[in-house]
């Protein structure tokens, strides 16, 4: 092999090495970079136990929109002050957008007005006036209460009192549900009693009071998912209570509650499409961080569910979404 040929082969080998190094360091063939958007979801509870279908919708949208989701719970249920501190922490730590399920909507809205927000906010509830709250995903809460009241009025005599169970009227949007419910019940002629959970045994004592010391029948309407879950668990725990609770109604559609409905412990409940709520909240968060939208409020429909329509195709898709 001549010296010239050796030089040529050496040059070719060197060229191959250079080309390999260039390609492996992404200088020639550039891979398309995918932007990942960090979005934090701050709920008003200490656990995500009641957010199963919501999270399915979140996960689906996060996959489609390249979102890295942080799901944040509170140390103490309904603590709006801590919720605002967490919102500030998430923004300071780089959240591109925050989705907020306000523990106490009025207090949270006022707090946001006094904060410097580095990222857009999407509210799970009624739209706040703050301009950086770009969107909301909500229900017509008062209408939800009215639908529940209409169902109770159509199925029971006004001779029975209706006892309303709640974690508190200032928690979430319970007051609006309560206003709609009581407006219908009182107009129909029912007597109404309100029981806010002030201690661990509040609901159990009220239910036990139907049996001891004086036996009396009553209807229970639990206007938030936690209260409905607790009331159903208490009633299911003793066949005696079923003889005195003429009907248990409420708001919420977890798998556990739907089983209680199917088993006859719960007579009827209000449900909405939690999968859509989760999906839409992520979609709106991505739109907001790209500034692709005007401020808007998405209002989801509420449905009254009882044992007779539980298996309807349309409702099954809402209540049991596929991952």
Q: Quote the pTM value.
A: 0.86
Statement to judge: residues 53 and 196 lie in one domain: no
The answer to the question of residue 115 being in a domain is yes
Statement to judge: residues 188 and 105 lie in one domain: no
Domain that holds residue 81: 37-139+274-300
φ/ψ of residue 233, rounded to 5: -65, -40
φ/ψ of residue 118, rounded to 5: -90, -10
Q: What pLDDT does 7 receive?
A: 47
Of 200, 207, 281, nearest to 246 (Cα)? 207
Structure tokens at 181: 């419910």
Peptide bond into 213 cis (omega under 30): yes
Chunked mean pLDDT (size 10), the chain, 323 residues: 53 53 51 81 94 96 97 94 96 96 95 91 94 93 98 96 96 97 98 96 94 86 97 94 94 95 97 96 94 88 96 92 73
The answer to the question of residue 305 being in a domain is no
Q: What is the mean pLDDT of the chain?
A: 90
Domain count, the chain: 2
Are 241 and 207 in contact by the 8 Å Cβ rule? The answer is: yes
Structure tokens at 12: 């070719």
Statement to judge: residues 44 and 111 lie in one domain: yes
Query: Residue 44 to residues 22, 68, 178, 231, 261: CA-CA distances in angstroms?
Result: 51, 20, 19, 21, 26
The answer to the question of residue 323 being in a domain is no
What is the β-pairing status of strands 268-272 and 302-305? antiparallel
The answer to the question of residue 29 being in a domain is no
Q: What pLDDT does 258 receive?
A: 96
The answer to the question of residue 26 being in a domain is no
DSSP for 251-273, please give it.
E---HHHHHHHHTTS--EEEEE-
The answer to the question of residue 308 being in a domain is no
The CATH number of residue 145's host domain is: 3.40.50.2300
């Amino acid at each position: 092999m001549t010296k010239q040929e050796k030089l040529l082969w050496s040059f070719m080998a060197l060229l191959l090495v250079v080309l390999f190094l260039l390609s492996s360091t992404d200088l020639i063939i550039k891979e398309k970079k995918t932007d990942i958007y960090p979005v934090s979801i701050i709920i008003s509870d200490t656990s995500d136990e009641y957010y199963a279908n919501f999270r399915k919708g979140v996960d689906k949208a996060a996959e489609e929109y390249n979102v890295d989701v942080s799901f944040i719970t509170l140390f103490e249920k309904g603590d709006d002050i801590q919720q605002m501190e967490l919102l500030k922490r998430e923004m300071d730590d780089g959240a591109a957008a925050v989705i907020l399920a306000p523990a106490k909507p009025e207090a949270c809205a006022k707090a946001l007005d006094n904060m410097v927000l580095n990222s857009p906010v999407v509210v799970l509830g009624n739209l706040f006036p703050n301009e950086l709250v770009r969107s909301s995903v909500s229900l017509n809460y008062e209408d939800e209460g009215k639908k529940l009241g209409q169902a109770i009025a159509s199925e029971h005599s006004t001779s029975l009192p209706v006892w309303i169970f709640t974690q508190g009227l200032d928690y979430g949007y319970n007051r609006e549900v309560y206003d709609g419910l009581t407006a219908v019940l009182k107009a129909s002629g029912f007597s109404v009693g309100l029981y806010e959970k002030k201690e661990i045994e509040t609901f159990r004592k009220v239910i036990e009071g139907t049996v001891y010391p004086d036996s009396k029948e009553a209807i229970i309407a639990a206007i938030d998912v936690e209260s409905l879950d607790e009331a159903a668990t208490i009633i299911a725990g003793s066949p005696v209570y079923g003889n005195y609770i003429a009907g248990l109604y409420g708001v919420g559609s977890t798998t556990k509650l739907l089983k209680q409905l199917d088993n006859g412990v719960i007579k009827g409940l209000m449900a909405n499409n939690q999968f859509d709520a989760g999906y839409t909240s992520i979609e709106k968060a991505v739109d907001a961080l790209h500034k692709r939208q005007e401020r808007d409020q998405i209002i989801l429909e509420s449905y009254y569910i009882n044992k007779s329509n539980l298996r309807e195709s349309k409702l099954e898709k809402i209540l049991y979404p596929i991952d």
